[in-house]
């Protein structure tokens, strides 16, 4: 079949054809060419319960018979209202919910909200954003500016706004001359130096709990808390991205609560609808929200909106999804599966081409290297991304890499048996590839 689809983050010249997925059931994807594959990346990190979850499908069907879409411009709908109330109760310190339909947009909204906050209260010089090096917040222009991964985005630099980037607390390939503990302190000192010297900072923006697409950098204990304290000390807005790390991925429903770090603005997405319909949200505290109130002629209201903002289908399935979180005690299940992950770390680390394994909750990054002693990443010329995908697919698992890092990000409700299969297959895949890669 001739395809007219252009695939994301894919060198189209490398792939003669693609698996056509025509069914999903539980943790498995079914294609027209192969029987089935375990969804090892939760369909791009968003699936919670697996595919074709009856309660979620029924929620979409019921809502589609009642109201498919209605604008949120000077109107509202019952599902958007109910979900916003639910989210404010779930997220400590938050006061209002702004709807969007993907994580990149939610982070654009965060940036615009932070910038306009300072404008509205009369501090118009506050225009600079401080972010982590190698962070990732999405693929639109604003989110690329906030989360600049050079390997992804250097070609687009002319269209991006500048930010101040400080080092993040990597535990692997720590710069020469530092212990890991020393490097953490250095990172915090760099942040404080910027916030102390610069009086034009609008916000400090980071992913909450871990940098995911930026290399699976998991923050050490109390690190994020210390950043939030610095933001408060220097009167800077603290903006968090929980698109990929919230709602259980790292083991906590609200990651910033677990990190004891209170943001002014926070965004959620991906798993909010269980992975069934696109939706994202940006929440703000009362201080931020109140700065947008005034008379119309003052032009303080927030200048942002989308066609499908507050879509009732997405809000309905999200409400059902959150009810399932509580009913099925999914956070408790995640903690058990996280232990299952951790028990295999030594085994994975011992593989010939594995330099490091980083893990928290239902997230694991396996750093593949050409030299274990110095931690040299495998050259892109080796096409490790393609080899891992093809070998894992042959063994019945859908895997993707980020460069030379194998990502394991399964649906949160994966069973013990299925997670063992995922881990076993990942290990056998890496072994199989290492024999043929020519390192």
Q: Domain with 135 in it: what CATH number?
A: 3.40.640.10
Question: Would residue 241 count as lying in a domain?
Answer: yes
Residue 27 and residue 52: Cα distance in Å, rounded?
9
Q: Which two tokens stand for residue 215?
A: 């290399």
Is residue 7 in a domain? no
Residues 253 and 180 in one domain: yes
What secondary structure does DSSP assign to 19-62, as a single string? --EEEEEBTEEEESSSS-EEETTHHHHT-SS-BT-HHHHHHHHH
Prediction pTM value: 0.97
- C-alpha closest to that of 228 among 198, 200, 199, 266: 266
Same domain, 178 and 99: yes
Do both 355 and 418 map to the same domain? yes
CATH number at residue 417: 3.90.1150.10
pLDDT at 1: 65
Q: Are residues 314 and 177 in the same domain?
A: yes
Beta strands in 76-167 (DSSP E): 96-100, 128-132, 164-166
- 45 and 94 housed in the same domain: no
Confirm whether 6 is domain-assigned. Answer: no
pLDDT at 16: 83
Domain count, the chain: 2
Backbone angles phi, psi at 95, to 5 degrees: -125, -35
- Which pLDDT belongs to residue 42? 98
Q: Considering only CA atoms, which of 310, 408, 312, 325 is closest in space to residue 364? A: 408
Last residue of a domain, one of 328, 362, 386: 328
Segments forming the whole domain that contains residue 122: 57-328
Beta carbons of 411 and 28 less than 8 angstroms apart: no
Residue 435 pLDDT:
87
The answer to whether residues 127 and 228 belong to one domain is yes
pLDDT of residue 30: 97
Q: Residue 108: what pLDDT?
A: 98
Closest to 360 (Cα-Cα) out of 239, 284, 250, 196: 250
Q: Are residues 150 and 240 in the same domain?
A: yes
Domain limit, last residue, from 295, 328, 361: 328
Q: What is the pLDDT, as a whole number, of residue 437? A: 76
- Domain end call among 328, 343, 366: 328
Residues 129 and 251 both lie in one domain: yes
Reported residue count of the chain is 439
Residues with Cβ within 8 Å of 159's Cβ and at least 6 positions away in sequence, in order, are: 141
Whether residue 319 sits in one domain with residue 411: no
Do 224 and 322 reside in the same domain of the chain? yes
Strand-pair partners of 216: none
pLDDT, position 438:
66
Does residue 206 contact residue 244 with C-beta atoms inside 8 Å?
Answer: no
Say whether both 308 and 421 belong to one domain: no
**Mean pLDDT taken over the chain:** 96
- pLDDT by residue for the chain (439 residues), tens only, comes to 678 999 999 999 998 889 999 999 999 999 998 789 999 999 999 999 999 999 999 999 999 999 999 999 999 999 999 999 999 999 999 999 999 999 999 999 999 999 999 999 999 999 999 999 999 999 999 999 999 999 899 999 999 999 999 999 999 999 999 999 999 999 999 999 999 999 999 999 999 999 999 999 999 999 999 999 999 999 999 999 999 999 999 999 999 999 999 999 999 999 999 999 999 999 999 999 999 999 999 999 999 999 999 999 999 999 999 999 999 999 999 999 999 999 999 999 999 999 999 999 999 999 999 999 999 999 999 999 999 999 999 999 999 999 999 999 999 999 999 999 999 999 999 999 998 876 6
- Does a structural domain hold residue 5? no
Closest CA to 226 of 283, 186, 197, 171: 186
Tell me if 112 is assigned to some domain. yes
Residue 12: which residues within 8 A CB-CB, separation 6 or more? 6
**309: nearest Cα among 114, 120, 83:** 83
Whether 46 and 186 share a structural domain:
no
In the structure encoding, which two tokens stand for residue 66, read together?
A: 């009642």
On whether residue 107 sits in a domain, the answer given is: yes
Q: Put residue 140 in one of left, alpha, beta given phi > 0 → left and psi -120 to 50 → alpha.
A: beta
Domain assignment present for residue 3? The answer is no
8 Å CB contact between 165 and 206: no
Residue 186 is assigned to a structural domain of this protein: yes
Instruction: Return the number of other C-beta atoms located less than 10 Å from residue 84's C-beta.
Output: 20
Under DSSP, the state recorded for 161 is P
Phi, psi for 98 (deg, rounded to 5): -110, 125
The whole-number pLDDT of residue 140 equals 97
Kindly provide the b/e burial profile for residues 327-364, where b requires at least 16 CB atoms within 10 angstroms of the residue's own CB.
eeebbebbeebbeebeebeeebeebebbbbbbbbbbbb
């Amino acid at each position: 079949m001739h395809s007219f689809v252009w695939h994301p983050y894919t060198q189209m010249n490398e792939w003669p054809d693609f698996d056509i997925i025509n069914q999903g059931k539980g943790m498995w994807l079914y294609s027209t060419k192969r029987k089935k594959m375990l969804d090892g990346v939760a369909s791009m990190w968003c699936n919670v319960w697996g595919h074709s979850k009856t309660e979620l499908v029924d929620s979409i069907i019921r809502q589609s018979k009642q109201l498919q879409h209605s604008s949120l411009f000077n109107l509202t709908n019952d599902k958007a209202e109910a979900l916003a109330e639910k989210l404010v109760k779930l997220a400590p310190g938050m006061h209002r919910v702004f709807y969007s339909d993907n994580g990149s947009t939610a982070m654009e909204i965060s940036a615009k909200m932070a910038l306009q906050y300072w404008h509205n209260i009369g501090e118009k010089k506050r225009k600079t954003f401080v972010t982590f090096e190698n962070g990732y917040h999405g693929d639109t222009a604003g989110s690329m500016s906030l989360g600049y991964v050079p390997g992804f985005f250097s070609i687009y630099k002319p269209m991006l706004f500048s930010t101040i980037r400080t080092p993040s607390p990597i535990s692997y390939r720590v710069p020469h001359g530092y212990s890991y503990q020393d490097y953490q302190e250095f990172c915090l000192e760099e942040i404080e130096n910027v916030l102390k010297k610069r009086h034009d900072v609008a916000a400090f923006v980071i992913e909450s709990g871990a940098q995911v697409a930026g290399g699976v950098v998991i923050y050490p204990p109390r690190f994020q808390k210390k950043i939030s304290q610095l933001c408060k000390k220097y009167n800077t807005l603290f903006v968090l991205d929980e698109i990929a790390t919230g709602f259980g991925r790292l083991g906590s429903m609200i990651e910033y609560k677990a990190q004891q770090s209170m943001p002014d603005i926070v965004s959620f997405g991906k798993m909010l609808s269980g992975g069934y319909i696109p939706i994202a949200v940006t929440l703000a505290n009362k201080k931020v929200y109140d700065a947008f109130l005034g008379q119309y002629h003052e032009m303080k209201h927030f200048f942002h909106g989308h066609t499908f903002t507050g879509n009732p289908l997405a809000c309905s399935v999200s409400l059902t999804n959150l009810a399932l979180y509580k009913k099925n005690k999914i956070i408790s299940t995640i903690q058990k599966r996280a232990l299952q992950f951790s028990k295999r770390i030594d085994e994975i680390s011992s593989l010939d081409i594995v330099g490091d394994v980083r893990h928290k909750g239902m997230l694991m990054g396996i750093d593949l290297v050409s030299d274990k002693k110095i931690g040299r990443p495998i050259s892109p010329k080796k096409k490790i991304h393609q080899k891992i995908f093809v070998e894992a697919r042959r063994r019945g698992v859908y895997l993707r890499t980020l460069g030379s890092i194998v990502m394991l990000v399964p649906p949160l409700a994966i069973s013990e048996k299925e997670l063992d299969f995922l881990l076993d297959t990942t290990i056998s895949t890496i072994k199989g590839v290492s024999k043929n890669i020519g390192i």
